[in-house]
Amino acid sequence: MPMTIRHLKIFVAVNDCGGMSAAARKLYVAQPTISQAIAELEKYYGRCLFERFGKKLYITDDGKELLLYARHLLDLFEKMEREFKGNAKINKIVVGATLTIGETIMPEMVKAFKEFKPSIKCEIIIKNTCDIEKMLLASELDCAIVEGALSSQELLCQRLKTDDVILACGKTH
Task: Supply the CATH number for residue 98's domain.
Answer: 3.40.190.10
Do 126 and 54 belong together in one domain?
no
| Last residue within a domain, chosen from 39, 61, 84 | 84
pLDDT of 87 strictly over 60: no
The pLDDT of residue 67 is: 95
Residues 112, 70, single domain; the answer is: no
Are residues 76 and 101 both part of a single domain? Answer: no
pLDDT of residue 89: 64
pLDDT for res 68: 94
4 DSSP assignment = -
pLDDT, position 44 = 95
Which amino acid, 137?
A: L
In 3-state terms, what secondary structure has residue 144?
strand
pLDDT at 80 over 90: no
Q: How many domains in the chain?
A: 2
Q: How do residues 28-37 score in pLDDT, each as one tens digit?
A: 999 999 999 9
CA–CA separation, 112 and 98 (whole Å): 19
Same domain? For 156 and 104 the reply is: yes
Report yes or no: 15 and 66 within 8 Å, Cβ to Cβ: no
Tell me the mean pLDDT in the region 5-33: 94
Nearest partner of 136 among 156, 159, 114, judged by Cα: 156
Domain boundaries, position 60 = 5-84
Average of per-residue pLDDT across 145-170: 81
Q: Are residues 55 and 114 in the same domain?
A: no
Same domain, 16 and 73: yes
75 shares its domain with 96: no
How confident is the model at residue 148, as a pLDDT? Answer: 81
CATH number where 38 lies: 1.10.10.10
pLDDT at res. 86: 61
- Average pLDDT over the chain, rounded to whole? 88
Final residue before a domain boundary, out of 43, 69, 84: 84
State the pLDDT at residue 59. Answer: 96
Ordered alpha helix ranges (H), the chain: 5-17, 20-27, 31-45, 61-84, 99-104, 106-116, 129-137
Number of C-beta neighbours around residue 153 at 10 A: 7
Rg (CA), the chain: 28
Residues 73, 103, single domain; the answer is no
What is the spatial distance between Cα 7 and Cα 67, in angstroms, rounded to a whole number?
A: 12
Q: What is the pLDDT of residues 125-134, one digit of tens each?
A: 999 999 999 9
In terms of domains, do 74 and 132 share one?
no
Domain end among 51, 69, 84: 84
Q: Are residues 103 and 159 in the same domain?
A: yes
Is this structure's pTM higher than 0.75?
A: no
Q: pLDDT tens, 98-125? A: 998 888 888 888 888 888 888 888 899 9
Closest CA to 74 of 154, 147, 2, 3: 3
